[in-house]
Structure 1
């Protein structure tokens, strides 16, 4: 559970950084309808959180590199 909490904290931190410092990138964080589960209470595990964090880090890194 500690790892999940740490991942959620990191996701919140990088999302806040993007929102505050790179508002033009924040628009890209909208949920893709293909990734939204059609279940009422979907389960999200540590692997999925790691993948989401990695995608946020890649998005921010690419933006910083290109701009």
Structure 2
């Protein structure tokens, strides 16, 4: 499996985890600036997907850190 496929798989798994375990956070994923293309035909390459994966991980980490005591 090439690197881009691994990244896509990890994005899918992380998104499913957020959807299943953090539904209050899942609704904000669509509003993440990383998902809004800046051109009409954006290129989706390995670097763009790595950046998106990092942003998802960062969002989840921040959410867990700031909400862990509220449960």
**Higher RCO, 1 or 2 (CA under 8 Å, sep at least 6)?**
1
Q: Give ranges in structure 1 of 5+ residues lacking alignment.
A: none
Aligned counterpart, 1:49? 49
For structure 2, the residue ranges without an aligned partner over 5 or more in a row are none
Alignment of 1:1-67 (within 5 A): 2-31=2-31, 32=33, 35-39=36-40, 41-67=41-67
Question: Following TM superposition, by how much is the alpha carbon of 1:30 offset from its aligned partner in structure 2, in angstroms?
Answer: 1.0
How many pairs align? Answer: 65
Question: TM-score with structure 2 length normalisation?
Answer: 0.80
**Cα distance in 2 for residues equivalent to 1:44 and 1:14:** 18
TM-score w.r.t. structure 1 length? 0.85
Runs of 4+ in 1 over 2 A off after TM superposition: 34-39
Q: Give the alignment's Cα RMSD to 1 decimal.
A: 1.8
